[in-house]
Structure 1
């Protein structure tokens, strides 16, 4: 498992949070229980199985929803 900390552009509404959460939940290999979208910090924290998905796939799910990923950090969980 890998831990990802993804910094996003500033989130402007609570519905943004729900859209991002839904998009990330749809990525295979995500640990559903670890997913946290922090509205005030404009940050996503999630653990994922790196044999099933990658940070690039998670970022793509977010950018496909129209949100900019500023930077990501990944480390072993």
Structure 2
């Protein structure tokens, strides 16, 4: 299982959490998503053979959120 943490621009509303979690959860290979509102981070666990961190980053950006950095482990 691969883990990635995406640092986003500051989130402005709690509804952002549901929007991001909902979209990433629908992505094939994603096992879990947790959005931390106060720190503007998105923590994910996914099957690296089915989806790449770069794809998840693009999905977040398509929703209108800027990804400042990504840490994959």
- TM bucket, shorter chain: over 0.9
Which residue matches 2:49?
51
What is the root-mean-square deviation of aligned Cα atoms in Å? 0.8
Structure 2: which 5+ runs fail to align? none
Deviating above 3 A after TM superposition, structure 1's stretches of 4 or more consecutive aligned residues are: none
Aligned-partner Cα distance in 2 for 1:24–1:4: 12
Secondary structure at the residue paired with 2:69? strand
Mapped to 1, the partners of 2:23 and 2:58 lie a distance apart of 9
Name stretches of at least 5 consecutive residues in structure 1 with no aligned partner. none
Using the size of structure 2 for normalisation, the TM-score is 0.95
Task: Flag the structure with higher strand content.
Answer: 2
Alignment of 1:32-71 (within 5 A): 32=32, 35-71=33-69
User: Normalising to structure 1: TM-score of the pair?
Assistant: 0.90
**Which position in structure 1 is the counterpart of 2:31?**
31
May I ask how many residue pairs the two structures share in their alignment?
A: 73
